[in-house]
Amino acid sequence: MQNSAKLAGWRWLWVLACLWLTACDSGESVSDSGFSRSEGDASQNPIQVTATVGMVADLVRQVGGEQVQVTQICGPGVDPHLYKATRDDVQTMMNADMIFYCGLMLEGKMTDTLIKMARQKPVVAVTEILEPSILLEPEDFSGHYDPHVWMDVSAWSQCVQIVCDSLCELAPKSAEYFRQNASAYQQTLAELHAYGQQSIASIPETSRILVTSHDAFNYFGRAYGIEVVGVQGISTESEAGLQRINDLVDLLVQRNVQSVFVESSVPRKNIDALVEGARSKGHQVQVGEKELFSDAMGQQGSYEGTYLGMLDHNITLVTRGLGGTAPAGGFRGSLSP
């Protein structure tokens, strides 16, 4: 694909950067522009961060620890592809010291709001640190990169660094604290990634096919060696046509697929259509006993409401659903029964 097409998905990130530089060059002081903060007692005056989606919010919580207070815009079950910022969301962003978002067009309908916020304060896309060689560029996504990078734990772990660097720049007196948290968290993520590789490898080779509601699991498939098929495209704005449903029903029958999976932030109607279609051809397919987490994590306050728990849940559920070997409690025995 031509370089211009490859850069299309990044163009609006450059707009953010240009707006930021314009604000700096306008004669405003750094403090007046919201690019630094006074550093008193962090326990009494934590850094206020707004994050768009749970996966990003959790990165900031893990690195920032007690010195950062994170407000998350898109909660459990919310589809970020379709979400539009409300008046309250805008006010929350205005009150923040810094804003973090995924990027790669995941939060497409919030783009205008993020651009406006970048005139006043640091607005950071955590995926901007990733080399293009890491990113997937599906043929049916109009020359843009697939934003679902968090499905590959090893790739998402790299995003910890930009969170750490950004917090260190904003609050340099706390830099060592942030760096220690980041290092410890990356070690944990490396262990989770190894668990994913080992677990998925235990699935019989002929059964390593993951059928889900939409194409959110391509990075998961590449990282853990499993074929991934989504009913809808990369963005949930796309609709699955009847021909697509029929083709997937034929695939289920021909490959003797035993389980398909519903996602927590995507309606299950298309998956139900697959099950019914397969049944009409004499093939029984079961729906995974629990929903997979794709664009949103589990309930806040739960283990599955953390990034670690989200991926642990997905890895363990897929492994067990497709005939592999994984403990019911998952990576560290913390999954909900």
Residue 16 predicted with pLDDT over 80: no
Report residue 74 as tokens: 């898109």
**pLDDT at residue 10 is higher than 50:** no
pLDDT tens profile 193-215: 999 999 999 999 989 999 987 67
3-state secondary structure at position 51: strand
Q: Residue range 311-323: average pLDDT? A: 95
Contacts of 92 (CB under 8 A, 6+ apart): 50, 71, 73
Same fold, 3-196 and 202-321: yes
* The pLDDT value given to residue 234: 42
Spell out the domain ranges in the chain: 3-196, 202-321
Query: Which amino acid appears at position 181 of this protein?
Result: N
pLDDT digits (tens, 9 = 90+) for 148-177: 999 999 999 999 999 999 999 999 999 999
C-alpha 297/C-alpha 156 separation (Å) is: 15
Q: How confident is the model at residue 21 (pLDDT cuts 50, 70, 90)?
A: very low
Task: Look at residue 17 and tell me whether its pLDDT is greater than 90.
Answer: no
- Give kind and range of the element (H or E) at residue 209: strand 209-214
CA distance readout (Å), 15 to 19, 73, 112? 6, 22, 11
Q: Does 74 score more than 90 pLDDT?
A: yes
Considering only the top CATH level, what class is 202-321?
A: alpha beta
Pairing of strands 123-125, 98-101: parallel
Percent of the chain at pLDDT exceeding 70: 82
244 vs 156, more confident: 156
pLDDT category at 19 given cuts 50, 70, 90 is very low
Q: Residue 248's closest CA among 221, 218, 276?
A: 276
Over residues 216-222, mean pLDDT: 94
Q: Residues 6 or more apart from 188 whose CB is under 8 A from it?
A: 308
Question: What is the Cβ-side half-sphere exposure of residue 204, based on CA atoms within 13 angstroms?
Answer: 9
User: pLDDT tens digits, residue range 256-268?
Assistant: 888 899 887 666 7
One DSSP character per residue, 66-85 reads GGEEEEESS-TT--TTT---
Rounded Cα distance between 63 and 308, Å, is 14
- Mean pLDDT calculated for residue range 246-256: 89
pLDDT value, residue 114: 96
Question: Is residue 20 over pLDDT 80?
Answer: no
DSSP collapsed to 3 states, 155-205:
HHHHHHHHHHHHHHHHCHHHHHHHHHHHHHHHHHHHHHHHHHHHHHHCCCH
pLDDT at 244: 79
Domain 3-196 falls in which CATH fold? Rossmann fold (3.40.50)
